[in-house]
Amino acid sequence: MKHPQGLHPRNRHHERYDFKTLIAACPELAPFVSMNTYGVETIDFAGPDAVKTLNKALLRTFYGITFWDLPAGYLCPPVPGRADYIHYMADLLGERNGGVIPRGKSVKVLDIGMGANCIYPIIGHHEYGWRFVGSDVDAVAIRAAKQIVAANSTLAGAVECRLQPESSAIFKGVVQPGEVFALSICNPPFHASTEEAIAGTQRKWKNLGMKNMAIAPLNFGGKHSELSYPGGEAAFIRNMITESAGIPQSCGWFSSLVSKKSSLPAIYKALKHVGATDVRTIEMNQGQKTSRVVAWRF
């Protein structure tokens, strides 16, 4: 049965989760699966352990990842939405390649803020054979991502993890002199503060009918640097745009996920200010949620 999600046509996650297949690949998922009031198998999406184990099962079933784990409290992203970003960027790269999506390790992609989960490199390498450099300001996240890469032979030679030495920098200190990427991708910190992140999660659980807001969990996890940045995503992306203008030839396309539509005017203004020659906004729909990618080049 198809979800009315509007996922990208090449996304592997159009169908409802087939829990029998997922449990066969990842038996530890079984205790988290139950029947809802409509007689449909599901998991408790408010439970961090359930969500993490579902991700393990999805990555094993669809992307051949035999080992995937996160340190406690780190961001556990939804796989279908992350896959959408990769597929839409593949289409963008194809535009400048005679309509053919470029594949293989000659396509080098920079993942800004890779996190401990390494999701974008896993999907991008599996689907298109791309080679990735992933950066993060968090040393624990980099160690965890390196562990995932080292434990999966399918990722051998495909993912390099770099610690961002300056917490306020984005490309500086990561992109090496003369280094050129086909694409940079980013899932920026969404909130302006940790308090805002917690308040947003509590609103979400209230809408879902959770009674005790004081113990409402961040089911997707997330450390401070993953969830918040002074000024929120708009400020982060504006800084990214400013830095990108200093290295215009380092990426064929710069891009970032933009969760809030209200962030767009400030982003467009910043892109105009630095003289970006081509700006694209790509809408993505997952269930009730609409997000977008803004991509630019010089």
What domains are defined for the chain? 72-297 (3.40.50.150)
Scan for tokens 């094993």, then name that residue: 60
Q: Could you tell me if 22 and 13 are in contact, meaning their C-beta atoms sit under 8 angstroms apart?
A: no
Q: What is the pLDDT of residue 289?
A: 81
Answer whether residue 200 shows pLDDT above 80.
Answer: no
CA angle (172 as vertex; 166, 176 as ends), nearest 5:
120
For residue 189, the model assigns a pLDDT of 84
How much is the pTM?
0.87
Decide the pairing of beta strands 289-297 and 251-258: antiparallel
Instruction: Say whether pLDDT at 205 is over 80.
Output: no
Neighbouring CB atoms inside 10 A of 141's CB total 27
Residues 118 and 146: beta-carbon distance below 8 Å: no
| Choice between 228 and 172, residue whose per-residue pLDDT is larger | 172
Confidence at residue 290, expressed as pLDDT on a 0 to 100 scale: 86
Q: For residue range 123-143, list pLDDT tens digits in order.
A: 999 999 999 999 999 999 999
Tens digit of each residue's pLDDT (9 = 90 or more) over 89-133: 999 999 999 999 999 999 999 999 999 999 999 999 999 999 999
User: What are the φ and ψ backbone dihedral angles of 134, each rounded to 5 degrees?
Assistant: -110, 135
pLDDT at 218 over 60: no
Question: Residue 168 carries which side chain, given as an amino acid letter?
Answer: S
Supply the pLDDT for residue 3: 39
Which pLDDT does position 2 carry in this prediction? 38
Pairing mode, strands 34-35 and 108-112: unpaired
What's the token pair of residue 254? 């710069």
Please tell me the predicted confidence (pLDDT) of residue 122. 98
> Tokens 């997000």 belong to which residue?
291
Predicted confidence band of residue 207 (pLDDT cuts 50, 70, 90)? low
Please tell me whether residue 4 adopts helix, strand or coil conformation: coil
| Over residues 67-91, mean pLDDT | 94
Mean pLDDT of 205-234: 55
Asked if 47 contacts 219 with a C-beta cutoff of 8 angstroms, the reply is yes
Could you give the maximum distance between any two Cα atoms of the chain, in Å?
Answer: 58
Q: Could you tell me the CA-to-CA distances from 281 to 234, 244, 255, 284, 296 in Å, in that order?
A: 15, 17, 10, 10, 9
DSSP H/E element including 131: strand 131-136
| Whole-number Cα distances in Å, 35 to 38, 39, 50, 131, 242 | 8, 6, 14, 40, 50
Q: Do 17 and 6 meet the contact criterion of CB atoms below 8 Å apart?
A: no
Mean pLDDT of the region 265-284: 97
